[in-house]
């Protein structure tokens, strides 16, 4: 009997670094006046946990068990919110993007919300380390009558640890449609001379932390005065209507991640209504 021998990895193959390949997906529906889980997919380093709650919205906590990202890592998150359902999505901790020896880390997010549904995408900060390379894509498809609260914060180096980011690459792409019409699109790109680019007055003026907050829905414009008060002088907010859809956009910046979070926490708590801030967030 011929017994096949186990394959023996070459020296080059043994030296290849492991890469993260993760996919997490969640779908929810409304039943008996509550948002309930309909489908859950967890593959690779992607895990999703749902803290117990007696009321809407359902809260989903996204976890990357790899503990961070570096060049070549790929993570994808997907969510589908059914008619009349409501979900808040956050992360267990800040996502750290480390120095890349080759390639870039990539995170792709795809969110879909049916008529009358609501989603709040509120991950904790992404922390960029020196010489990190990172690309993020956010695609959101809202049906007529669906609403969304979207926030992303990025910190370039932890000032409390004496860290700065001089070189690297960061690409961020957002596309939001409602009833099939494009209502928000933006592309942010910086690198390879990150420190020099962010020091310009037209960028962050030397600040190391920034956040973008987007509200899409009929009542978005009604929040403008309260949002401007929460944002303060280091940032701004505007509201307008696009293709009959209300939209509010706020930008915040600060010298460090802690200062940014002190203003971002009350702002997100305000915009998320009675759901408040996800349990994972804390100062």
What's the pLDDT tens digit per position in 120-129? Answer: 999 999 999 9
pLDDT-based confidence at residue 7 (cuts at 50, 70, 90) = very low
Quick one: average pLDDT of 87-97?
96
pLDDT at 17: 63
Residue 72 forms part of a structural domain: yes
Mean pLDDT of 107-119: 97
Mean pLDDT of the chain: 90
Mean pLDDT for 143-168 is: 92
Assign 168 a pLDDT band (cuts: 50, 70, 90): very high
- Top pLDDT among 172 and 12 is at 172
Is 88 among the domain residues? yes
Residue 14 has pLDDT above 80, yes or no: no
7 falls within a domain: no
Report the predicted TM-score, pTM, of the whole model to 2 decimal places: 0.91
Question: What is the predicted pLDDT for the residue at 5?
Answer: 44
Place of tokens 């996502």: 95
Within a domain: 241: yes
pLDDT at 15 over 80: no
DSSP codes, 144-189: TT-EEEEEEEEEES-GGGT----S-EEEEEEEEEETTEEEEEEEEE
Look at residue 146 and tell me if it is in a domain.
yes
- Quote the pLDDT of residue 275: 86
Please report whether residue 281 resides in a domain. Answer: no
Instruction: Report the alpha-carbon distance of residue 277 to residue 123 in Å, rounded.
Output: 11
Into how many domains does the chain fold?
1
C-alpha separations of 263 from 49, 210, 211, 230, 259 in Å: 27, 11, 10, 7, 7
Residue 157 lies in a domain: yes
Domain that holds residue 236: 17-274
pLDDT above 60: residue 12: no
Does any domain span residue 11? no
In this prediction, residues 226-249 reach a mean pLDDT of 93
């Amino acid at each position: 009997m011929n017994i096949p021998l186990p394959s023996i990895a070459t020296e080059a193959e043994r030296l290849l670094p492991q890469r993260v390949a993760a996919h997490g997906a969640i779908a929810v529906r409304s039943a008996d006046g509550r948002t309930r889980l309909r489908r859950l997919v967890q593959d690779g380093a992607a895990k999703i946990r749902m803290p117990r709650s007696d009321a809407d919205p359902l809260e989903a906590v996204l976890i990357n068990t790899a503990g961070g990202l570096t060049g070549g890592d790929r993570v994808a998150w997907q969510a589908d919110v059914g008619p009349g359902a409501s979900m808040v999505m956050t992360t267990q901790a800040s996502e750290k993007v480390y120095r890349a020896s080759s390639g870039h880390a990539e995170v792709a997010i795809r969110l879909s919300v049916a008529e009358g549904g609501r989603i709040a995408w509120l991950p904790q900060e992404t922390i960029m380390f020196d010489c990190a390379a990172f690309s993020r894509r956010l695609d959101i498809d809202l049906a007529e009558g669906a609403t969304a609260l979207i926030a992303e914060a990025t910190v370039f180096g932890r000032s409390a640890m004496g860290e700065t980011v001089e070189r690297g690459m960061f690409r961020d792409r957002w596309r939001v449609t409602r009833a099939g019409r494009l209502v928000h699109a933006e592309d942010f790109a910086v690198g390879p001379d990150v420190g020099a680019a962010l020091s310009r007055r037209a960028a962050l003026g030397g600040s190391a932390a920034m956040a973008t907050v987007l509200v899409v829905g009929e009542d978005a414009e009604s929040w403008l005065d309260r949002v401007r008060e929460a944002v303060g002088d280091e940032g701004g907010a505007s509201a307008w209507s696009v293709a009959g859809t209300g939209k509010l956009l706020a930008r915040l910046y600060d010298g460090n991640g802690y200062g940014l979070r002190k203003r971002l926490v009350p702002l997100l708590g305000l915009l998320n209504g009675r759901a408040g801030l996800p349990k994972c967030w804390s100062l």
